[in-house]
Amino acid sequence: MRRLFADRLVIATAVVVILMSILFALERVAG
């Protein structure tokens, strides 16, 4: 269970980081 949770956490972290990087880039291009 804990391993499965860790797997999901890895995917969630990757998604958050990519989304935040998109946000960063949009902010820079727009600003």
**Footprint of other proteins (CB under 8 A):** 1-7, 9-10, 13-14, 16-18, 20-22, 24-29, 31
Q: In one letter, which amino acid is 12? A: A
DSSP secondary structure letters along 1-31: -HHHHHHHHHHHHHHHHHHHHHHHHHHHHH-
User: What does the longest C-alpha to C-alpha distance in the chain come to?
Assistant: 44
Q: Shortest Cβ distance from residue 2 to other proteins (Å)?
A: 4
Smallest distance, other proteins to C-beta of residue 26, A: 7
Shortest gap between Cβ of 8 and other proteins (angstroms)? Answer: 10
